[in-house]
Chains A and B, each alone.
Chain A
Amino acid sequence: MNKCSRIEEMIKNENTEIDFIADTVDSELSGHLAGCSDCESLIADIKSVSDKIRSLSKVSVSADFNERLWSKIRQIEQVNAESSEKEADRSIPFFSRAVYYVSGIAAIVIAFIYVSSLGILDLNNSNSIQPGTSGMSVASEYDQSDDKTVTDSLESLGKNVTEDEELRLKVSTGE
């Protein structure tokens, strides 16, 4: 004897609803059930399975669940607050350091521009600052150089005067 499989096919269909909790069964299905003992038996079995699953013992949380939960939350909040404070502390010195760096660089740039404007950094100038020479020695050399030029000029002038005097004597003596 072949068992009816109509309900089995129907309940695999997406639109067939058998809700044992709300106790609602698809109308087409309930119409067939009235005249088919095979299918009625199958539905009874499925309902029994559903009932047994729902009768399984429920598992509950432990009595101190809430207390432990709040303790965990407060702990995390404290850690987060501390790390935020550290972050804030770290950001202030960094800002200060940045100000120092920028100020220092600006001072160097201004000094460079000022020194450049004096022309003493021109390497083609004989009076330019050479590596390893201090400001005082450069000034001293500059002065000595000037003195030497004046001396040379005076010597040259004296020599010319002497030559003119000798020429004048030669003319007067008729040589």
Chain B
Amino acid sequence: MENLKRLSDEDLMLRFQNGDENSYSELVERYKNKLMNHIFYYMKDRESAEDIVQDTFVRVYLNKDKYKEIAKVSTWIYTIAINLAKTALSRSGKMNSFSITGKDGENDYEIKDKHSSTDGDVMKNELSDIIMSSIDSLEEKFREIVMLRDIDEMSYEEIAALLNIPTGTVKSRLNRARLNLRDALTDYIR
């Protein structure tokens, strides 16, 4: 049996379009955590984020024939997920209000560790809160690019394709966003 892990996303998609569900499963494996990580920073809630990621893959499954090879599979999947997240946020009226706390007022950015926290962990969590708060305070066009580049580690070209803007604009927005973050985080970065 051919090793699916060696195939490109586009090859997997083509095989899936021809009825190979294993290829679909491989795509799910490749993107489920990346998407979860990305969408979590939109939704600020693990359950909602996972629902969005599930719905994204359901749509990929049901609309496989709508995918055309002119776009990268990653771009297509991220576009579906981000649109679903934005729709969910606008329905709940949270589109422009990013909070760093979860539903229960707890820090919801960190994966809860079953083991006891050390002082170092607490400080790290606090710093994470501050960084996320600073990212949240950015204009959406800057925040989105910081998330896609520094959190999801997407290439400039992938971000440009996803947001439908020139690569140069991606670079300048990213640099401006980092300058703003540097000003906001001066006390914490040295």
Give A residues with C-beta under 8 Å from B: 8, 11-19, 21, 42, 45-46, 48-50, 52-54, 56-62, 65-66, 68-69, 72-73, 76
Contact (Cβ within 8 A) B189 A48: yes
Chain B's nearest CB lies how many Å from the CB of A94?
28
Give B residues with C-beta under 8 Å from A: 25, 28, 32-33, 36-37, 40, 46, 49-50, 53-54, 57-58, 61-62, 109-111, 127-128, 131-132, 135, 146, 149-151, 153, 156, 166, 168-169, 171-172, 175-176, 178-179, 181-182, 185-186, 188-190
Contact (Cβ within 8 A) B179 A8: yes
Contact (Cβ within 8 A) A56 B53: no
A-B contact pairs, 27 of them (CB 8 A): A8-B179, A11-B178, A11-B179, A12-B172, A14-B169, A14-B172, A15-B171, A16-B175, A18-B175, A21-B153, A45-B186, A45-B189, A45-B190, A48-B189, A48-B190, A49-B181, A49-B185, A50-B150, A53-B146, A54-B151, A56-B132, A58-B33, A61-B36, A66-B25, A69-B54, A69-B57, A76-B58
What would 5 more interface pairs be, CB under 8 Å, given A50-B150, A56-B109?
A42-B182, A45-B182, A46-B178, A52-B189, A61-B50
Contact (Cβ within 8 A) A49 B127: no
Cα–Cα distance between A48 and B131 once the two chains are bound (Å):
12
Q: Which of B135, B169, B189 has the most CB of A within 10 A?
A: B189
Top 7 closest A-B pairs, CB basis? A14-B168, A11-B175, A53-B150, A48-B189, A59-B40, A14-B172, A45-B182
Contact (Cβ within 8 A) A54 B182: no
Contact (Cβ within 8 A) A57 B54: no
Cα–Cα distance between A60 and B179 once the two chains are bound (Å):
29
Contact (Cβ within 8 A) B179 A69: no
Q: Which of B49, B149, B175 has the most CB of A within 10 A?
A: B175
User: A57 contacts which chain B residues (CB < 8 A)?
Assistant: 109-111, 128
Contact (Cβ within 8 A) B151 A53: yes
Across the interface, name the chain A residue whose C-beta is closest to B174.
A18
Chain B's nearest CB lies how many Å from the CB of A61?
5
User: A52 contacts which chain B residues (CB < 8 A)?
Assistant: 127, 131, 185, 188-189
Contact (Cβ within 8 A) A54 B32: no
Cα–Cα distance between A54 and B151 once the two chains are bound (Å):
5
Across the interface, name the chain A residue whose C-beta is closest to B154.
A21
